[in-house]
Chains A and B, each alone.
Chain A
Amino acid sequence: MAIRSPYIDPEIYNRVHKMVLRARAIVEGTIVGQHRSPYHGFSVEFRQHREYAPGDDLRYLDWKVFGRSDRFFLKQYEQETNFIGHILVDLSESMRYGSKPNQTKAEYAKLLAATLSYLILQQRDAVAVGVFTDRVVQYVPPSTNPAHLYRICHVFESTPAAEKTDLGAILGEFASRLRRRGVVIIISDFFDDLDRVLSGLQYLKFNRHDLIAFQILDEFERSFPFRGLIRFEGMEDEGIFRTQPERIRHSYQELFGRFAEGLKAGCERMDVDFQQVLTARPVDAAIREYLARRR
């Protein structure tokens, strides 16, 4: 029986299923896999072949198979370790914003998280998902079972965006909760105090996680294209402001740009992958762009 979910898009999955998300740092896994393991000296036993994907290490190419079939296959061994991908999704009120109907940042974040989950699961790594606002709202423990994706999607479907955000505190909480080193993917607009955000990332980094930060933005939030007399109503109980946007656009963009630069610079300092994604961009394209850069 096919399970339907708005976050399971076969077309997107088809476009991303050959992609591989590798742990860039050394990760601790229960099995030996394609990721660099902190555990050395394990015997290597061939398990299966896997079709080559761009970015794979050429050392593991099976040249014999290539000679017979002209196709690239990698030899996979039981000794390859796996990683746990922790995907943390911000579903605070601010993520509910979308300049177009049905294209909110929250929905985009969920789709991105589900797609990344699929990507991780299909490479036999474990994935855990945490949904947070100013607290952890939902947590799906790690699993490598492909059916785990449905559980994740179910959580997304049942969790609307609500409440305020407190990113610094919540990242600190995750840092204390995720003891095993792995890949931590944070999907948020990061609209919080920059220092608190960076300090939260610092907590995670301190635990030697491989951190990836996806900043989800709506195009309007960046370009601020409004004209006329607008009454802006804060989505996280931040009050109401009446203004003529064109009169303050310059300042807004400057402040917004300064924040984004600060976030990016802070991430770079901490060796955190930072990727700004606009909701107008297809999810698979965003992932491909990131993975290409990550390699």
Chain B
Amino acid sequence: MPFSFLHTGMLWWLAAGAIPIIIHLLNRRRYRPVPWAAMRFLREAIRVNARRIQIEDLILLALRVLVLIFAALAFTLPILKSQLLFFGRQPHVCAVILLDDSYSMNYVDGDLSRFERARTVAREVVGRLNRGDSVSVILMSDRPRRLFREPTFDLDQVRNQLARLECSYAASAAEGALALAREDLAKARQPAHLVCLISDFQKGLLGGAACEALLADLKKNADLVAIPIGEGYDGNLGVVGIETDAGVLAAGIPTVLRARIHNFSQTPQQDYPVELFLDNQRRDRRWVTIPPGGEVDVTFLAEFREAGQHAVEVRIPADSLPTDNARHHVVEVRPKIPILLISGDTAGRGGIGATEYAGMALAPGWLVGELEEDHLSPARVAVGQFRPADLDQYPAVFLVNVATLEADQIAGLERYVREGGGLMIIPGERTDVRFYNENLYRNGEGFLPARITPPGFRTEEGECFLSPDAYDHPALSVFADRSHGDLSQIHFKRTLLVEPPTTASVICKFSTGRPALVERTFGKGRVMLFASGLGRDWSDFIWKPSFLIFMRRVGDYLMRRETAGLNLGVYETATRFIRGGSAATPMTVVHPSGKNDLAELESALGGMRLQYAGVDRPGAYRLITEQQIVGQFAATVDPRESDIGLPPMGLITAPLRIVAPTDVASVTSTGPAGSEFWMTCLKIALALMLIEVLFLLWIERREKRTTVHESV
């Protein structure tokens, strides 16, 4: 259809065109009766004039109907899609500029970054708009936001604001920004809509069903224009991750730090230097070879002599995208790491039970009191003496061969896990399966990762081992290297039949196919359930060297809670609990840029809780109070953003009109919105009204010329 209407609701007013016809029909009842004698002259006069009167009446009726139709049409704000008609004028535009400010736009092409070029292009687009047009600028990333609360008509202000914009450290994402654009256009009063995406269009930017649906929706009423920024690409390498073997490190114990370096370019990198900095001191440098598109793990061995939080930084040489050339990581180092063993067995009275096996695996010198060489410090407590209030001291808890728990103990454990604690459940012969199912599993509502099928442990009739599957879970990944132990050689005599729900995941299975280790996330914490017991009656696991590694890895994995607040994504709010101290004492956050911010503090049980919302760039942030560093945390960028690719990767299938940055003039030319001609309609209505008045005057004047015939 060559027409469209901005106010389709006003189309009902077109029915007003019937008003003159209705009035005409109603008037037929309003004739004033007059008895008349000289009918012969009247009849003849009517006969003579009937045709003329009929034509005049039809013309008047048509004029009146057309006046109302065109007036109503003007109110519907019609848009003529044909560009061939001479009338109509360029409609006012509501332009929404989606400016990509993800950190890939920091890529430097020549002497300017892509963001600086995009900013210039955006200002040119705004400069092409006319008085009466409105603009909304939306910064397009995974944290989309508007530059102005609503579309503004102050184009100069928009240009000034654009000139001052800085690129962010957020990752690319278009969905949120497109949704904001749709909201802005829905409220726009202008008949023509322009959506202008200015981006490097990284691969996958406009992908996904939601994005495609939004683009299709916008396409209905707007001219979608894409201006790809980025002339060339000479590759990029980035530090995409830093990991430690354990979530909590012990002071004086060497630990492995792994840095992942990704080569996003098409050329191999040989003897590529990777440097390790600990607390801003360079400690190590490695040279690696990275194939095109490949990724390597660079392993550093580090040792922290002092307890506390330490900043780890890995750097690579500068390239065109500086943001990912360094990555920070903060680790928690403690003198000893306490682990609570809640024991339900009676072996402590003389023999060695499951709890003792677990404790010795975590710290081999534990039973004989020689813990100097061990970074883990297990603490055994009988289930009867277990007090939930003590849980906060332990980054991880093992529940070993416990029959039942009191209600407050269950509630305490549940709260502990919800707040981020790690819990390993190792059943035994004392375990009350029914109690576990009813109180800890609660049809999936409790923290037990799986329902235990009664009656509980069953003796395996044949051989049963752990399945030699690929160990991709962090807790077991170490066993991918068989030199650390071969789990498939562990012979199980008795196992537990468990039924994990869909919310839980099976980490490894027995050779029978049944789950052996099940994990579920509960609140912020994790819970694991081992489907066998510890001891010679259950398996030969305790005699295997892999048992020690298994227990320590699980312990380390469960302890990740303590590191959760140390390493954030950029723009996340930092929340930390700091033991001791007072909320009245000011705490300063030293920003990576060097500026100092005051942190918000509030009193909490046993210390204070810090909240800091100023995490807006990657790097290490230090917390200082009374000139003492009391903590650190690191902010990192999304590594996917480093994969810039050749532009415009994301535009291959998107339904957009692609305009070169050098051809901005064509952005604001007449798009599919067509020409607005409500003014033309209004003029036609007024002209018809004038014609109707003149026509009536002509008729009246002609009738006035008729003078009373002076007869005899």
Contact indicator B27/A260 (Cβ below 8 Å): no
16 residue pairs A–B, Cβ–Cβ below 8 Å = A93-B37, A95-B37, A191-B40, A223-B708, A231-B33, A232-B39, A235-B35, A239-B39, A242-B28, A242-B31, A243-B42, A248-B45, A249-B706, A256-B38, A256-B709, A257-B709
Contact indicator A253/B33 (Cβ below 8 Å): no
- Which residue of A97, A254, A255 is within 8 Å of B35 (Cβ)? A97
The answer to whether A276 has its CB under 8 Å from any CB of chain B is yes
The answer to whether B605 has its CB under 8 Å from any CB of chain A is no
B333 to chain A, nearest CB (A): 103
The answer to whether B84 has its CB under 8 Å from any CB of chain A is no
Interface of A toward B, CB cutoff 8 Å? 93-97, 105, 189, 191, 215, 218, 221-224, 226, 228-236, 238-239, 241-244, 246-257, 259-261, 263-264, 274, 276
* Chain B residues whose CB sits within 8 angstroms of the CB of A96 once the complex forms: 35, 37
Contact indicator A226/B34 (Cβ below 8 Å): yes
The answer to whether B703 has its CB under 8 Å from any CB of chain A is yes
Are A231 and B31 CB-contacts (below 8 A) given A189-B37, A251-B49, A253-B709? Answer: yes
- Which residue of A218, A230, A244, A256 is within 8 Å of B41 (Cβ)? A256
Other 19 A-B pairs with CB < 8 A, given A251-B44, A257-B711: A105-B37, A228-B32, A229-B30, A230-B32, A230-B33, A231-B31, A231-B32, A233-B33, A238-B39, A247-B703, A248-B48, A248-B49, A248-B53, A249-B706, A251-B49, A255-B41, A256-B41, A260-B711, A276-B711
Contact indicator B709/A222 (Cβ below 8 Å): yes
The answer to whether B43 has its CB under 8 Å from any CB of chain A is yes
A91 to chain B, nearest CB (A): 13
| Bound: A250/B703 CA distance, A | 7
Count residues of B near A (Cβ-Cβ below 8 Å). Answer: 34
The answer to whether B613 has its CB under 8 Å from any CB of chain A is no
- Which residue of B30, B35, B711 is within 8 Å of A264 (Cβ)? B711
| Bound: A94/B703 CA distance, A | 27
* Chain B residues whose CB sits within 8 angstroms of the CB of A248 once the complex forms: 42, 45-46, 48-49, 53
Contact indicator A221/B706 (Cβ below 8 Å): no
Are A255 and B39 CB-contacts (below 8 A) given A230-B31, A274-B712? Answer: no
Chain B positions 13 through 42: 1 when the CB is less than 8 Å from some CB of chain A, otherwise 0: 000000000000001101111111111111
Contact indicator B703/A246 (Cβ below 8 Å): yes
- Which residue of A94, A229, A235 is within 8 Å of B32 (Cβ)? A229
Chain B positions 39 through 61: 1 when the CB is less than 8 Å from some CB of chain A, otherwise 0: 11111111011000100100000
| Bound: A224/B711 CA distance, A | 13
Within 8 A of A (CB), among B661-712: 699-700, 702-703, 705-709, 711-712
* Chain B residues whose CB sits within 8 angstroms of the CB of A263 once the complex forms: 712
| Bound: A244/B54 CA distance, A | 12
Question: Nearest 8 A-B pairs (CB), nearest first?
Answer: A257-B709, A260-B711, A97-B37, A250-B706, A94-B37, A231-B31, A251-B45, A238-B39
A153 to chain B, nearest CB (A): 24
Contact indicator A234/B36 (Cβ below 8 Å): yes
| Bound: A256/B48 CA distance, A | 14
A-B contact number at CB 8 A: 124
Contact indicator A241/B43 (Cβ below 8 Å): yes
Return the chain B residue nearest A104 by Cβ: B37
| Bound: A9/B33 CA distance, A | 34
Are A231 and B41 CB-contacts (below 8 A) given A223-B708, A264-B712? Answer: no
* Chain B residues whose CB sits within 8 angstroms of the CB of A261 once the complex forms: 711-712
* Chain A residues whose CB sits within 8 angstroms of the CB of B706 once the complex forms: 249-250, 253
Return the chain B residue nearest A242 by Cβ: B31
Contact indicator A235/B39 (Cβ below 8 Å): yes
Contact indicator B41/A252 (Cβ below 8 Å): yes
A210 to chain B, nearest CB (A): 19
- Which residue of B28, B45, B702, B712 is within 8 Å of A255 (Cβ)? B45
Chain B positions 499 through 510: 1 when the CB is less than 8 Å from some CB of chain A, otherwise 0: 000000000000
Contact indicator B33/A252 (Cβ below 8 Å): no
| Bound: A105/B37 CA distance, A | 10
| Bound: A165/B546 CA distance, A | 136
| Bound: A247/B49 CA distance, A | 8
Residue of B34, B37, B43 with highest tally of chain A CB at under 10 A: B37
Return the chain A residue nearest B49 by Cβ: A248
Are A253 and B34 CB-contacts (below 8 A) given A238-B39, A241-B43, A241-B46? Answer: no
| Bound: A71/B705 CA distance, A | 55
Return the chain B residue nearest A243 by Cβ: B46
Contact indicator A230/B34 (Cβ below 8 Å): yes
A230 to chain B, nearest CB (A): 5
Contact indicator A249/B703 (Cβ below 8 Å): yes
| Bound: A226/B708 CA distance, A | 12
A269 to chain B, nearest CB (A): 14
Contact indicator A235/B36 (Cβ below 8 Å): yes
| Bound: A186/B32 CA distance, A | 34
Contact indicator A222/B708 (Cβ below 8 Å): yes
| Bound: A222/B34 CA distance, A | 15
* Chain A residues whose CB sits within 8 angstroms of the CB of B30 once the complex forms: 229
Return the chain B residue nearest A97 by Cβ: B37
* Chain A residues whose CB sits within 8 angstroms of the CB of B36 once the complex forms: 97, 232-235
Contact indicator B44/A247 (Cβ below 8 Å): no
* Chain B residues whose CB sits within 8 angstroms of the CB of A218 once the complex forms: 37
Residue of B30, B38, B44, B702 with highest tally of chain A CB at under 10 A: B38
| Bound: A257/B44 CA distance, A | 13
B55 to chain A, nearest CB (A): 12
B709 to chain A, nearest CB (A): 4
| Bound: A24/B28 CA distance, A | 55
* Chain A residues whose CB sits within 8 angstroms of the CB of B37 once the complex forms: 93-97, 105, 189, 191, 218, 221, 235-236
B357 to chain A, nearest CB (A): 112
Return the chain B residue nearest A264 by Cβ: B712
* Chain A residues whose CB sits within 8 angstroms of the CB of B46 once the complex forms: 241, 243, 248
| Bound: A264/B711 CA distance, A | 9
* Chain A residues whose CB sits within 8 angstroms of the CB of B703 once the complex forms: 246-247, 249-250
| Bound: A260/B711 CA distance, A | 6
| Bound: A253/B699 CA distance, A | 17
Are A222 and B27 CB-contacts (below 8 A) given A246-B703, A247-B49, A252-B45? Answer: no
* Chain A residues whose CB sits within 8 angstroms of the CB of B711 once the complex forms: 222, 256-257, 260-261, 264, 276
Are A259 and B41 CB-contacts (below 8 A) given A247-B49, A247-B53, A247-B703? Answer: yes
* Chain B residues whose CB sits within 8 angstroms of the CB of A246 once the complex forms: 700, 703
* Chain A residues whose CB sits within 8 angstroms of the CB of B33 once the complex forms: 230-231, 233
| Bound: A241/B712 CA distance, A | 28
| Bound: A228/B34 CA distance, A | 12
| Bound: A248/B31 CA distance, A | 16
| Bound: A96/B37 CA distance, A | 8
Residue of B27, B53, B705, B706 with highest tally of chain A CB at under 10 A: B706
Contact indicator A234/B28 (Cβ below 8 Å): no
| Bound: A141/B10 CA distance, A | 81
| Bound: A255/B48 CA distance, A | 10
* Chain B residues whose CB sits within 8 angstroms of the CB of A276 once the complex forms: 711-712
Chain B positions 154 through 170: 1 when the CB is less than 8 Å from some CB of chain A, otherwise 0: 00000000000000000
Return the chain A residue nearest B703 by Cβ: A246
* Chain B residues whose CB sits within 8 angstroms of the CB of A242 once the complex forms: 28, 31
* Chain A residues whose CB sits within 8 angstroms of the CB of B700 once the complex forms: 246
* Chain A residues whose CB sits within 8 angstroms of the CB of B38 once the complex forms: 94, 97, 189, 191, 221, 256
B53 to chain A, nearest CB (A): 5
Contact indicator B43/A238 (Cβ below 8 Å): yes
- Which residue of B27, B39, B702, B708 is within 8 Å of A253 (Cβ)? B708
| Bound: A276/B712 CA distance, A | 6
| Bound: A232/B703 CA distance, A | 19
